[in-house]
Structure 1
């Protein structure tokens, strides 16, 4: 039995029996998109340590049996790859080891971009860390997600991956940052909402086309794994501007989706299905 299947099953059990109410929007269309040959990039707000993988408990259990319908995501080396067992476990769970402080030019971003080009699903929390103070506003997105898109097929004049925003709410109560003993246990009886939006490619693809016009050949730094401030000293100024524009466009589209929370929460709760 695979690590993604076990994680998916535990997540479904928690949503079904550990939460008082769960509401899910946009699931059927999303599942159909995962089954296609086109790469999928999902972006979501990050509000707790259990967002990943618990939010994926809304998916049909069958999706956890097929590598093409199991997400790949980035995971910090100092948090998830500390020993042999952790490295094995998270690698099997389709986590790409990422190094903090080594900028956007590192192997993890290359790997994620390649998987998008292969038609796989990559999930990113573009804020880079948990934010629970103001749930309706998002931090500035990290530029790694922009680089993935800019150097993907979509940034080279071919078909871009589907870019799908997901807004989550309630996990900040399941694992509140201020929680007391026992800190390692999720709190039960909370209400959870997962809103899966429509693709935002119409807002992003014109920016990818602009990038291609300005940079017909991807910028390749002399050295990988440096702090982003070091890269900025050597890069053409317009390159950072394009990354910033793409990241901000995604941020704005994700916040638009978040504005639908009251509408979705006014509906009847969703039944967690174990369908195949």
Structure 2
């Protein structure tokens, strides 16, 4: 098992795929920038150059609308490494066509090849993300996605720089160098792809519907089936919207507001570096789980830095014609640098957990089609971003800083809307921040919790923080059964109601609340959810595990689902356990940032799960460290 994401780069199950996708992103951007270089080499008119810069993105994105539905089905049906080899072979053919365009200075051929690269990317997209759950363990998904996003960001950046320099350095030999380079990169990618291990098809029996229109509708509906996945896809599409607006305006922003002429690669580099760093930090911050609590952090971080970017430079620069060194000597330059890196950093926090959630929550026999549906929506958001950017600047005469300000506000509003639709995002964020501020948490065995389907979690009950700690550890949302009077506490009431906790009371205390609780538990398990209970029925008063009550057996009698025995260690001497008196719990705790462990055991079949047996399992995992 890889202990951190960089260990994956030493393993054949990941490294060849990582290099293949990075080489593909690199080559795409070398090619597109080389076309711009060719336009300058040919001394085409400004009007023709503008036509290309507007036409090229549309040509590249068109195949996503036309062929994503078919691509998703193909990626579902074929063995994944084979499909990747097919797409990289296509790249060799496409780049050979592009080479002819460079040699003959034929823009029509180059644009035709650009359309084909869009088609090849459309075919590669679904398998790019659906292969990861096949080759990575659940606890490696966040780190693997972080590496992929980092590799993609850096490859795009280096490709833009390299492609933009070809004609500047090679001069009259530019067309030849460009042609040879893109073919060589395509061949290299194909050779590397042949080392990707076999990854079985998600649905080899799938019958492909070649009619793109009804199938596009079908896969978009498929992508919207699960609420959390649907809104994660919406979040990814919004990421593309924000990225399109930002990167599309950076060239003009660099020239008009930074005074750096055509040095637009510098701010793009800052954004890309930030995105790469943020993507890689996700695994560390998430403790190797799919931690969607990072998504709200990322969303509001993006808005904060976009907001500051507006105020950092609202007008024209005092000096123009600057290079990077000259710009860095100008007042306020470091603020702009920090803003651009910060936007990228929090973009990584935002998008990587979303990809990991989509992969972990979607059945493997549907994942490629769900990714294809996401790509259709992404393409729509990219087009919408481009159109809106054009409208507000051409017809409403907004400046680029004003566009950034509007984007900051819109991003915050969209984030709030998404988190309102799916409270799980916000709850994970709150539990993530709260728990990791107060404790040093270590989770073990979380891979034993099923990725989907119902299960019952049983755990010892030590402190008032137990449910939040378990929520921060378990990669899926858990509906905890909580003592009903907690729901009368103002702040706690909002937290637990938002988390859809189930209130319960003793049979003698309030039989109606108890009856409704068991009905809700039964409904939640029937719906395939995780339910968490503390079978002791109360907080421990002495640090020891009390006898498990028979309620767990009552639940399993009606709902024979797997049971996950879990244990909390180190909580008794931390804050908010009953080791302190009520007055003592109000003071500064004796062990701030205490080491706390959450340990999950192997699932126990309902038929074998008596209260006594589950208590023994929890005791064994808790050990002597209360």
TM-score range, shorter chain: 0.5 to 0.7
Query: Contact between 1:169 and 1:193, CA under 8 Å: does it hold in 2?
Result: yes
| 2:99 equivalent to 1:99 | no
Aligned to 1:76: 483
Q: Which protein is richer in strand relative to its size?
A: 1
| Alpha-carbon distance in structure 2 between the residues aligned to 1:139 and 1:81 | 26
1:114: Cα distance to partner?
Answer: 2.4
- Give the SS at the match of 1:73: strand
C-alpha spacing 1:17/1:81, structure 2 compared with 1 (3 Å): closer
* Greater per-residue helix proportion: 2
Distance 1:44 1:56, change over 3 A: same
1:218 equivalent in structure 2: none
Q: 1:247 aligns with which of 599, 603, 611?
A: 611
Match of residue 90 from structure 1 = 496
1:54 is aligned to 469
* 1:127 and 2:546 are equivalent in the alignment: no
- 5+ long unaligned stretches in structure 2: 1-418
Q: How many angstroms apart in 1 are the aligned matches of 2:482 and 2:514?
A: 16
Q: 1:108, 1:252 → 2: CA distance?
A: 26
Q: C-alpha offsets along residues 197-221 of structure 1, whole Å, 9 cap, x if unaligned? A: 11122xx4157xxxxxxxxxxxxxx
Structure 1 residue runs of 5 or longer lacking an equivalent are 64-68, 155-160, 208-245, 263-276
> Could you tell me which residue of structure 1 aligns to residue 569 of structure 2?
169
Runs of 4+ in 1 over 6 A off after TM superposition: none
Post-superposition offset of 1:41: 0.3
The answer as to whether partners of 1:113 and 1:149 remain within 8 angstroms in 2 is no
Shift of the 119–190 alpha-carbon distance from structure 1 to 2, 3 Å rule, reads same
Q: Is residue 3–residue 89 contact of structure 1 (8 Å, CA) maintained in 2? A: no
Distance apart, 1:75 and its partner CA: 2.0
Preserved CA contact (<8 Å) 2:576 2:585: no
Q: Measured at CA, do residues 9 and 171 of structure 1 come closer, stay the same or move farther in structure 2, by a change above 3 Å? A: farther
> TM-score, structure 2 length as denominator?
0.29
Partners of 2:586 and 2:552 in 1: CA distance: 31
2:607 aligned residue: 205
Structure 1 88/174 Cα, relative in aligned 2: closer, same or farther at 3 Å?
closer
- Which has the higher relative contact order, 1 or 2, with Cα contacts under 8 A spaced 6 or more apart? 1
Structure 1 pair 97/185, CA: closer, same or farther in 2 (3 Å)? farther
Q: Which TM-score applies when normalising by structure 1?
A: 0.62
Q: Does the 8 A contact of 1:45 with 1:127 survive in 2?
A: yes
Helix, strand or coil at the partner of 1:171? coil
Larger Rg: 2
Shift in Å, 1:28: 2.9
